[in-house]
Amino acid sequence: MNTSSSPSPQPFDHHLNGADTITTQSDNAATTAGTDSGQLLFTPAQAATTLQVRESWLRRRAAERRVPCTFLGKHLRFSRADMEAIIADARRPSAASRIRTSTSDPLRR
């Protein structure tokens, strides 16, 4: 009988991530959405964490169809392209790059 202790077995759901290393399902649960570039779809919680917004804000915008998203049946998911589009749509020019069109401003002399 072998009395040496061996590490507990890992879950059988193994796959390759973007870095060609084997990870387990439990490892992926601990991985943040922003660092796993091989992930196809993100949950609302993962997408909200990546975008640094509240999950409720993101869910509400998705329900109103104001942000790009994917529904798999009743499950809401966000792709990396969806999140990039959300960022691009929210981008505003800086105050220094705004061009004033009115020259008749009485306060500006």
| Residue ranges of domains in the chain | 37-89
Of all residues in the chain, what percent carry a pLDDT higher than 90? 48
| Tens digit of each residue's pLDDT (9 = 90 or more) over 7-35 | 544 443 444 444 433 333 334 433 444 44
pLDDT for 71 equals: 94
Bridge partner list, 24: 14
What pTM was estimated for this model as a whole?
0.54
Long-range contacts of 84-93 (CB under 8 A, 24+ apart): 86/51, 87/51
Amino acid identity, residue 60? R
Is CATH 1.20.50 what the domain over 37-89 is classified as, yes or no?
no
Q: In the block, which residue shows the tokens 């439990």?
A: 26
Mean pLDDT, consecutive 10-residue stretches, the chain (109 aa), reads: 50 41 38 60 98 97 96 96 96 75 60
